[in-house]
Amino acid sequence: LTGCKFHPVQNCVHRGLRHRWHRVAMAGATYSLYEVAFTAAALSGSSVAWISYGHIGLIIALTCVVGLSALGDVLEVLRGSGCRPAADRGPKDAPASAWPAEPELPPQWYVGMLAIQGAGMAAQLLFGLTVMSGMLLSFVFGGCGVCLHLRYYSGNYSDNARTLPPVLSIVAIIFAMVMTAPSDGRGYTSMGVHDKWGAMALLFFAGLFGAAGAQAFCWYMGVAPRDLKETNPFAGLGSSP
């Protein structure tokens, strides 16, 4: 719970273990164990779903990963994002380069991301509007998520890029879902699209608009990267996926 404080000894052990076990070294770079596990599970699970059930399997896989993202956003809203005490943000005694910390975002960010994610999944699950669904989700993950990670996490661009695998894995599933849908079906024709290249272009532009929207929001709300002395091995799940 927000505001809870561990006993000093317990807090020291908890932070030490968290710092030690939630980072793994791969090819000379440091990655969060969460990042690796989530990315591997998302890509392998969606691949199995596609092999087993085709396009429907990818819809199911995307529903699962977006559901996890939405759950993370809900938790951020419930515990009051931006109001967490410094003690809850991760080990302060870790080196500044150990792991980029996510910025403190206002609740409006998470509410907005929840609304767009919900609209995107509803477009696919309730109405079969595949391209529209892909555009909305690309706006969130391919645009807002990538922009947030690269520009507002506490490291440099190279360090911040190491936090991207979960976001990019969701983007890959979004593109795969749209590309495997029948181009002569309602999911395409409802947007006036009749081929795969047209659908891909719309997803790409939706991501660009998402990045621009995220940048404008952060400028307006005064969001800034955290002090480099504060690091957090837990990169946000959600859209700050």
pLDDT tens digits along 183-192: 999 999 999 9
Cβ atoms 167, 145 nearer than 8 A:
yes
In sign, the C-alpha dihedral spanning 75, 80, 86, 87 is: negative
Q: Give residue-wise pLDDT tens across range 57-79.
A: 999 999 999 999 999 999 988 88
- φ, ψ for residue 181, nearest 5 deg: -75, 150
Of 33-42, 132-141, 169-178, 212-221, minimum mean pLDDT range: 33-42
Give me the chain's average pLDDT, please. Answer: 81
What 3-state DSSP class applies to 95?
coil
- Rounded to whole angstroms, how far apart are CA atoms 231 and 95? 8
- Rounded to whole angstroms, how far apart are CA atoms 30 and 32? 7
- Rounded to whole angstroms, how far apart are CA atoms 146 and 187? 26
Percent of the chain exceeding pLDDT 90 equals 65
